[in-house]
Structure 1
Amino acid sequence: MYFAALLARTEDGWKASDTELDDVETLSDLADLAREASLEDDTVLVLIEQEDAWFGVVRIDGEDDPRIYVSDAAAAARSSYGEILLTDELLGRNPGDDDLADLDSLDLDGTEDGEDDDEDDDGPDAAGSAEAVPHGPVGDAEILDDLGVGEKELKALATDAVTEIAESLGASETLELVR
């Protein structure tokens, strides 16, 4: 089960709104949705949580590029919403990289130079996919520092992270209204 909410900072505090991500296909779409929630280019946080598996925070400050933190990239990669957040840049990959990018090192039979083609393995993607997305947090762990949630606290969050973040921001009551 997923929960996604927008927290928009206003002069009067935080304003929360439940958000549907069904029409969001890219990080750019998500950033546009967040900017629409802001009245005057104030800070907007998109909080996404999949039960106890992973959570993500996207911070939009005006027209600046979104800042992203994902608690467990490997778990998020298995989620359609997580895939929106896990950009090539965030994962340290060049756009267009994939498991077949290094074809130069393969012999014509598909094995790597010097590799026996009768070696046991778990398939062509056995190591490639595991290396592509790391287990554990990725992104900007200092994303909420100036709002009272430091890197250490953010990385320590596990269960009910969205609620704990909202509490730290003084927005827990506001968030509960849309939950």
Structure 2
Amino acid sequence: MYFAALLARTEDGWEASDTELDDVETLSDLADLAREASPDEDTVLVLIEQEDSWFGVVRIDGEEDPRIYVSDAAAAARSSYGEILLTDELLGRDPGDEDVLDVLDLDGTEDGETESENESEDDEEPAGAVSGGSAEAVPQGPVGDAGILDDLGVGEKELRALSGDAVTEIAEALGASEVLETVR
């Protein structure tokens, strides 16, 4: 189960609306949805939390590129909603990097290598690692801009320490807990 809300900063304070992510397929879609919540190009935060296993914050300031923070990339990678946030740029991957499944032959060896070469490489890999694949590209733990909320009163250290009901704790720090509760 997940919870997602938009918090838009206005002259009168924060306004909250819950949001359904079922029709959102890309970060660009999510950014467009957030921009619609603030016609005056004020700051909009998209807060996403999934079953207390991970949370994400996307910050949209007008037409600037979205800033993203994800508390646990590995947990988020197992979620269709998390995959929206885990862009190649956020994970430090080149968009053209091939996925490990694309370069494996049917026998499990990489193109042009023999099984014995593959076995010797596997001996050097840590258990569970996939050579050159997405398992290495999605780290355990936080990724992204931990300073995303610095100017709003939630520093990097505080953001990284959040767990459990992180969305509520962020809203409290922003002074937006009452408006968030109206959409929860």
- TM-score in terms of structure 1 length: 0.89
Within 5 A, what are the aligned runs for 1:4-15?
Answer: 4-15=4-15
Work out whether 1:26 is the aligned partner of 2:22. Answer: no
In structure 2, the residue matched to 1:145 is 150
Alignment length (residue pairs): 178
TM-superposition CA deviations, 1:41-84 (whole Å, max 9, x none):
00000000002100000000000000000000000000000000
Residues 116, 40 of structure 1: alpha-carbon distance in 2 compared, 3 angstrom cutoff: closer
Are the equivalent residues in 2 in contact too, given 1:2–1:48 (CA < 8 A)? yes
Distance 1:164 1:12 in 2: 21
Residue matched to 1:175: 180
User: Aligned partners of 1:71, 1:118: CA distance in 2, in Å?
Assistant: 31
Counterpart of 1:52?
A: 52
Amino acid at match of 1:33: L
C-alpha RMSD of the superposition: 2.8
Contact in 2 for aligned 1:41/1:61 (Cα 8 Å): yes
Change (3 A) 1:48 1:108: same
Provide the rounded CA distance (Å) in 2 between the counterparts of 1:34 and 1:131. 31
- The SS at the match of 2:100 is coil
Q: In 2, Cα distance between the equivalents of 1:157 and 1:118? A: 37
Amino-acid identity (%): 80
1:99 equivalenced with 2:100 (yes/no): yes
Contact 1:106 1:113 in 2 (8 A): no
Unaligned stretches of 5+ residues in structure 2: 105-109
Residue equivalent to 1:82: 82
Q: Report the 3-state secondary structure (helix = DSSP H, G, I; strand = E; otherwise coil) of the residue aligned with 1:155.
A: helix
**Is residue 148–residue 168 contact of structure 1 (8 Å, CA) maintained in 2?**
yes
Could you tell me the TM-score, scaled by structure 2's length? 0.87
Cα 1:110–1:58 shift into 2, 3 Å: farther
1:68 aligned residue? 68
CA contact (8 A) 1:54 1:76 kept: yes
Distance change (3 Å), C-alpha of 1:111 and 1:84: farther
CA displacement at 1:172 relative to structure 2: 0.1
- Secondary structure at the aligned position of 1:115 is classed as helix
Code of the aligned partner of 1:55: F
